[in-house]
Structure 1
Amino acid sequence: MTIINQILEIKTEQGINIHNITPQIQDVINSTSIQNGQVLVFSRHTTTALAINENEERLLEDIKVFLRKLAPESDKYLHNDLHLRIVPEDEPMNAHSHLMAMMLSTSEVIPIVDGKLALGTWQSILFFELDGPRQRTVFVQISGE
C-alpha cells in the first residue's frame, strides 16, 4: 500500500468563510498513481473545520447564520479574558470560533474509486474558516493502491 502526504494552503478572509476544497483534493489524487483507497483530509487549526455537504451559495449562507446562532461573537466567554492569560499581543477574542469548530469536524475520510473521490452527486468537501483572515493549512493523506 502506498501512502502520500501533502499540505494544502488556504488564504482565508474576514469572519466565517467556507471554501470548497474538493478540486484541490482531487488534484492531489490525480498527481498520484493511487486508483483505489481513501483520502484523509485534516484541519490543522482549532478555529477551522471540515464537513461534507452541498456547495450551494444560499445553503452556505444558512450555515453561517446557524453557526453564529450557536456561538454568538457578542456573548461573554472566559477564553476572551485575554488579560488573565499569557497570549501574543495580536491574540483575538475568538472563543466563539473555537466553539463553532467543535460543532463541526476536524477531519473527513473519503473513499477513492478508480482514481476519483467517491462523493455523492451533491457532496463537496468544505473547509470552514471561523476566525479569519488567516493563512491556513489542511493536511491530506492518501493511502491505497
Structure 2
Amino acid sequence: MKRLRFRTPQEGFVNVTRAVEEVLEGHTGLVYLFVPHTTCGLLVQEGADPQVAHDLLERLAELAPRFHPKDRHAEGNTHAHLKSLLTGVHLLLPAEGGRLRLGRWQQVFLAEFDGPREREVWVRLL
C-alpha cells in the first residue's frame, strides 16, 4: 500500500488524480483509495470547472452548518464529521495501463472539511 500525503486548505477540494496515477505504474485492474481521517472525504467529481467545487461546498454548508445549536461534540467540528459521512472516505476505481478510467469530466478529489491539515490518501492496487 502506498500512502500519499497532502497539505489541505481550511476547507475545499484537493485534486489528487495525478498523484494517484503516479502510483499506478502501468497497473490494469482496480484501485482502492481510503482516507484514514474522520473530517475529510474522497469523491469523484467534475474537475474542469472550479465553480462546481464552490457550489458543492456551499450546498454541504447548508446541509451541515458550522454551528448548530444541537451539536455537542467538544471540538466544535461536528459539521466536518457530517460532511465526511456524506462524501465517504473510500473509492474503488478502475485503472487501465496506468491511468484511472474516469469519465470525460471526472477527477478524484480529497475533500477537506476541517483544515488546514496534513492528510493521507492510502492507495492499494487490486
**Given the two structures, how large is their TM-score scaled by the length of structure 2?**
0.93
Deviations 1:64-118 (A, max 9, x none): 1011001111212011xx2xxxxxxxxx410110011111111111111122211
- The equivalent of 1:60 in structure 2 is 53
Please say if 1:48 is aligned against 2:40.
yes
Shift of 1:17: 1.2
Matched to 2:98, the amino acid is: G
Deviations 1:42-75 (A, max 9, x none): 1110001011110121001001101100111121
Unaligned stretches of 5+ residues in structure 2: none
User: Residues of 2 paired with 1:73 and 1:115: CA distance?
Assistant: 39
User: Residues of 2 paired with 1:66 and 1:107: CA distance?
Assistant: 21
User: Residues of 2 paired with 1:45 and 1:120: CA distance?
Assistant: 27
What are the equivalent positions in structure 2 for 1:1-145 lying under 5 Å apart? 5-14=1-10, 16-30=11-25, 33-34=26-27, 36-55=28-47, 56-76=49-69, 77-79=71-73, 82=74, 92-143=75-126
SS at match of 1:72: coil
User: Once the two structures are aligned, what percentage of the paired residues are identical?
Assistant: 31
User: Residues of 1 paired with 2:99 and 2:116: CA distance?
Assistant: 31
Q: CA RMSD in A?
A: 1.1
User: Residues of 2 paired with 1:104 and 1:126: CA distance?
Assistant: 11
User: Residues of 2 paired with 1:54 and 1:94: CA distance?
Assistant: 27
**Given the two structures, how large is their TM-score scaled by the length of structure 1?**
0.81
Runs of 4+ that moved beyond 3 A:
none
